[in-house]
Each structure stands twice: as C-alpha cells, then as structure tokens.
Amino acid sequence: MKKALFLSVLYFVLLPLFGQEQEVTFSEEFKNENEGKVTIEINEVQELTHVLMAMTTVGSNDSNMINHDNEYYKKLISRFSPFRGHKAVNIVDSLLKESVIYYILLSSNATGFKFEGKNITKTNIYTFPAKAVGTTQITEDPILKYQKEFENFAYVSRFREFFAEQDTLYDKIKSDYEKYADIDKQKNWLEKKFKYNINSYRVLTSPLIGGINATITFEDNNFKETLLYLPIITRKHELPEDINKVMNSRVIFTEIDHNYVGPMSERHRENIDTIFNNRSFWVNSSNKSTMHYPNPIKVFDEYMTWGLFILYVSDTFPNNQELIDYVVDHVDNKMISKGFPKARDFNQELFRLYKRNLDMPMEQLYKGILEWSATQR
C-alpha cells in the first residue's frame, strides 16, 4: 500500500502532509464498483465532525476554516446551539485550539467510518488515514478515541435526522459538481500528459468546508484512488458562465494535479533542489503563507501546479482567447499574492515551451522549465 497526501489552504499550503504509512484495503468488489468513476459525496460521519467544529469557539471565529456564508451554516447554528456545551464540542474545541491541523486530522479520519443506527462503525476501507500533518502527529485515531462522545452528541442532538433532512440540498451540491467541475476532463488531460493513471476519484464535500482543501491518493491491490476534500461549487453571478465554470475547475485542478506533479518532481529532485534553493529569488518570505513551503521542491511544485492550469485551459478552450487571458491574469496575480513573485515570468515561459509542441512529454517540459529556471537570477 502506498499513499501521498497534499493539503492546500487559501491562505497557506502544507506539502506533503502524511509522513507515515497507513492501512488501506481495496477489495476486488471495491475495485469493480469504483473503476473509472468520479463520485461526489457528503460523508455522514465527516459531516458530523464539520458540525462539531462549526459549533466550537474556534470554528465560530474562523470563517476560512468553516464556511459561514450560506443558509446551511445559519440553519445548523440554530439547530445545534443548545448543544454547544456538550463534551464532544468541548473536546473538538480544545483540539482546534491546540492546532488548526486538527481540522484535517478529524475530518480526514472520519472518511473511514459510517453510521449504523446510533453507532459509528468502521468501513474497513480506510484505517486511520491521517496520522500526521507537518509537524503535528497523533498516534491514535481521534474518531475512535472520542467515539462515545461523538456518538452521544449525534444521538442527543438528533444529528442524523438533520443530515437526512438535507437530501435536497446535498443532491443539488452533487449535481452542481457534475455540471461545473469537469473532473473527468481534468483527469483525462493530466493522465495523458503525465502517463500516470488513477483508477477512481472521490470528492468529499460539504457546505461547511471553507479554505482548507486537501487531496490524498491511496494505492492498494493494483488500484489507485484519489480523495479530494473540497468546498461546494460557487458561482459569481456577475461573471459569465464559462468563467464561473473555469474558476470552479481551478480550485479542483490545483488540488488534483499535485498527485501527478509530486511523483514527477521527485524524479527531478536533485535539480530542483539546486535551482530553487535560491529561496529569496523565488519566494517573498515577508508573506507569512510562504513559511509552509519550507524547501525547494515544495516551492517548485507550487509554481508548477498552478502553471499547469493555464496549459489545461488553453487546450480545453483553444478558441476562447478572452477566457485564456482571464485565467492567465488570475493565476499570475493569485500566485504573486501568495508570495511567489516570479509567477508571471515562470508561467509565461512554461506556456511558451508548451506551445512549441503540444504533444511534448512532460519529462521534456520539466527539463525545459528547469533549464530556464536555472538561468534566472
């Protein structure tokens, strides 16, 4: 069994996340059911952890961690406020006060569980998938550690009834993903370029997910599955439909492509470490978010994952120059605002190299952009 995990947050990024192996079991039945599929889910136990985090003082004050800007949040606050003093809420609050990383440690480990009546039980697919994020490590699955408290909160607050009442909303969230996300297109483009196939994609979303987004790829029994922890699809009514669709794709693409860029970058690590060791050139360290990219390969991967989105859009919408220009400006400005001052030059050169030969192997594109990067001072 192998795995790779990456975490992105709107105001910072941590890569890679999990430094330990974890158990994953993909049975033949599981493989047959999921081969070639992209599924969109709101996981019930995971949503319980989101609700618990939303009820904490940390979650109430952090609108980036918990999305406060929708009717769903207002509805659950009204519904669950009488239970703010519950032991489960206090436990989760203390964990989040210790580290915001517990947002991932709680929600990601919940992926391995389901409800059976009043009880939270293992799915026996994912077993303790989130053991460490950066320097924060745990030795016990928090879902199991606090299982009785979580089960009691769900029972006394009638959480499962609340969850069942949201079927119409959850169905719309899923249909919005099918309409706007274009995950199949992104997957096919990346697999063609990187010659690296992933058998199944599973999007785990929630109206409560804010700026903390993550992707994990597991491998077992000759089967790879990527989990994507992502916010719901959003639309800005002042923007045309094509731009709305592409901007939602961007959020997803710059998560998905870590699963392809990461393995490729490892093959070029020695070269990347040499070139991008000139940190003051590639990173604006006065931007606090850059502290989460502490080494050269993490810096390069961030440049590359965002730059590739421009190439994807140019291939997918070759006759829509206005859209391509919009995406180029968006990616350049976003990266610079995140503390990557050479993003515009990097993306321009990456695009130039790519346009010379749209069918060039990714190894060749890597070689070209690294040769160019080595000349920059």
Query: Do 239 and 334 belong to one domain?
Result: yes
Query: Do 163 and 238 belong to one domain?
Result: no
At residue 111, the pLDDT reads 93
**Mean per-residue pLDDT, 235-246:** 85
Query: Do 291 and 360 belong to one domain?
Result: yes
C-alpha 100/C-alpha 106 separation (Å) is 10
Q: Cβ(136)–Cβ(101) under 8 Å?
A: yes
Last residue of a domain, one of 158, 173, 188: 173
Q: What is the pTM of this model?
A: 0.86
What are the pLDDT digits (tens) for 248-298? 999 899 989 989 999 999 999 999 999 999 999 999 999 987 877 889 999
Mean pLDDT of the chain: 91
Q: Is residue 187 part of a domain?
A: no
Q: Is the pLDDT of residue 49 over 90?
A: yes
At residue 122, the pLDDT reads 96
Q: Is residue 225 part of a domain?
A: no
What are the pLDDT digits (tens) for 70-110? 999 999 999 999 999 999 999 999 999 999 889 999 999 99
Q: Is residue 46 part of a domain?
A: yes
What are the pLDDT digits (tens) for 296-309? 999 999 999 999 99
With b for 16 or more beta-carbon neighbours within 10 A and e for fewer, the 82-119 pattern comes to ebeebebbbbbbebbeeebbbbbbbbbbbbbbebeeee
Q: In this predicted model, which residue has the larger pLDDT, 291 or 324?
A: 324
3-state percent helix, strand, coil for the chain, nearest multiple of 5: 55, 15, 30
pLDDT band at 37 (very low <50, low <70, confident <90, very high): very high
Query: Do 245 and 361 belong to one domain?
Result: yes
At residue 1, the pLDDT reads 54
Q: Cβ(261)–Cβ(267) under 8 Å?
A: no
Full DSSP string of 341-372: TTHHHHHHHHHHHHHH-TT--HHHHHHHHHHH
SS (H, E, C) 2-45: EEEEEEEECCCEECCCCCCCCEECCCHHHHHHHCCCEEEECCHH
Query: Do 73 and 148 belong to one domain?
Result: yes
Q: Is residue 214 part of a domain?
A: no
Report the domain count for the chain: 2
Query: Do 38 and 161 belong to one domain?
Result: yes
Query: Do 254 and 144 belong to one domain?
Result: no
Q: In this predicted model, which residue has the larger pLDDT, 271 or 131?
A: 271
At residue 190, the pLDDT reads 96
Last residue of a domain, one of 137, 158, 173: 173
182: left (phi over 0), alpha (psi -120 to 50) or beta: left
Structure tokens at 283: 């990173």
C-alpha 65/C-alpha 53 separation (Å) is 9
Query: Do 164 and 253 belong to one domain?
Result: no
At residue 134, the pLDDT reads 64
CA nearest to 292, candidates 14, 10, 2: 14
| Bridge partners of residue 216, in order along the sequence | 5, 227
Q: Is residue 36 part of a domain?
A: yes
Query: Do 27 and 121 belong to one domain?
Result: yes
Q: Is the pLDDT of residue 13 over 70?
A: no
At residue 363, the pLDDT reads 94
Q: Is residue 190 part of a domain?
A: no
H helical segments located in 146-268: 147-156, 159-165, 167-180, 183-194, 241-256, 258-267
Query: Do 263 and 369 belong to one domain?
Result: yes
Query: Do 261 and 164 belong to one domain?
Result: no
Q: Is residue 252 part of a domain?
A: yes
Q: Looking at this protein, which amino acid is placed at residue 253?
A: F
Q: In this predicted model, which residue has the larger pLDDT, 6 or 197?
A: 197
Q: Is the pLDDT of residue 54 over 70?
A: yes
Q: Is the pLDDT of residue 133 over 80?
A: no
Q: What angle do CA 234, 236, 239 make, to 5 degrees?
A: 135
**What is the extent of the structural domain holding 134?**
2-173
Last residue of a domain, one of 127, 150, 173: 173
The 3-state DSSP class for residue 75 equals helix
Q: Is residue 84 part of a domain?
A: yes
Pairing relation of β-strands 38-41 and 200-206? parallel
Q: Is the pLDDT of residue 18 over 80?
A: no
Query: Do 243 and 163 belong to one domain?
Result: no
